[in-house]
Structure 1
Amino acid sequence: MRKIITNSTPLIVLSALGQLELLHHYFDEVIIPDAVWQEVVINGKNRPGALEVRNCEWIRIQEVSDIIAVETLHIYLGIGESEAIILAKELNLPLIIDDKAGRRTAKALDLSVTGTIGILLKGSEDNLVNMNETVSGLISIGFRFDKETMTKMFT
């Protein structure tokens, strides 16, 4: 079974683009820690991702065991990123995360990391995503990406 951990931003962005199902295309199960559920579904009520994530049968919530590790990371990162990184480490699963500091931390812990753009690029390669429309959508929702990422999207 193909599984992955994600934090909040990929869920919110993919939902806003109408592409949340892309995750299910590539993964049988998407696992999120409780803090991500709280951020997206509870605190994000009436925002992109809230209803979509609540209604997905293939998204599962799992508690993190190592609370001390989460609290340590939370000094530098958001609670959702912290819990997602530690949960990915505990379950030895890859992680979808966009925050640069979070990605650096995850890589330092030897986790396999991708981001929202990585998922969208894979979808584009498999002819599931139109990158021109996707980039326009990303810009319209205020998603920030650097020139290097932009180059990857169109080469």
Structure 2
Amino acid sequence: MTVVSNTSPLLNLALIERLRLIDAQFGEVVVPTAVWNKLTAGFDGRDRIEAFRDQGGIRVVSPDPTDLRIEFERELDHGEAAAIAYAIDIDADRVLIDEREGRATATRHDVPVTGVVGILLQASSRGKVDLETELDALREAGFWISDALYERALEMDAE
């Protein structure tokens, strides 16, 4: 399975110390250089992300800019545009992205999307985490989750 990731899912999982869920669900993830640069620009979670890369959880690639990527950059940030364009170019199985506009763009181009909440939901269904605890940890770390999404995720987990 080839999975390309944007910044948000990896950074937020690093902040709540759950990067191992990426490996358990997808194996290695691929990130374009634009995403890697954003991941390592700050201090929060940087050590965990670099360690995860060093353990083989992340592979950084340097794709050439394409017309599609340039088009995406008109509406999305550089990391999102790079991740989605690269996922399309290599016919990736999935892209990990949280932002609404990026998710809509990937979906329009028939690239399956999963975000951090979906990753946690899947882990919870396998008994690996307590979803409510992890969603609360995400909120505490600064990840915005609407009350509606929070409740919907808990309902899906209960089914």
TM-score by length of structure 1 reads 0.91
Describe the SS at the equivalent of 1:123: helix
- Say if 1:4 and 1:27, in contact at 8 Å, map to a contact too: yes
Q: Distance in 2 between matches of 1:28 and 1:143?
A: 24
Conserved in 1, the CA contact under 8 Å of 2:139 and 2:145? Answer: no
Shift of 1:151: 2.4
Q: Following TM superposition, by how much is the alpha carbon of 1:140 offset from its aligned partner in structure 2, in angstroms?
A: 0.7
After superposition, the C-alpha distances for 1:94-152 in whole angstroms (9 at most, x for unaligned) are 10100000001111111111111000000010111111211221121221122442123
User: Which consecutive residues of structure 2, in runs of 5 or more, have no partner in the other structure?
Assistant: none
Range that drifts further, 5-14 or 61-70? 61-70
* Cα distance in structure 2, aligned partners of 1:77 and 1:152: 27
1:112-131 to 2 correspondence within 5 Å?
112-131=112-131
- 1:35 equivalent to 2:31? Answer no
Secondary structure of 1:154 counterpart: helix
The aligned counterpart of 1:52 is 48
Give the TM-score, by structure 2 length.
0.89
Distance (whole Å) between structure 2 residues aligned to residue 5 and residue 148 of structure 1 = 27
The range that moved more, 59-68 or 118-127, is 59-68
Tell me the matched-pair count: 151
CA apart distance, 1:75? 1.2
Measure the CA separation in 1 of the matches of 2:64 and 2:111. 17
Q: Secondary structure of the residue that 1:105 maps to in structure 2?
A: helix
Tell me how far 1:66 sits from its aligned partner. Answer: 4.3
Residue matched to 1:69: 68
Structure 1 runs (4+) greater than 6 angstroms displaced: none
CA contact 2:117–2:135 (8 Å) conserved in 1: no
Match of 2:3 in 1: 4
Q: Equivalences for 1:90-105 in 2 at 5 Å?
A: 90-93=89-92, 94-105=94-105
Alignment of 1:20 with 2:19, yes or no, is yes
* Identity across matched positions, percent: 27
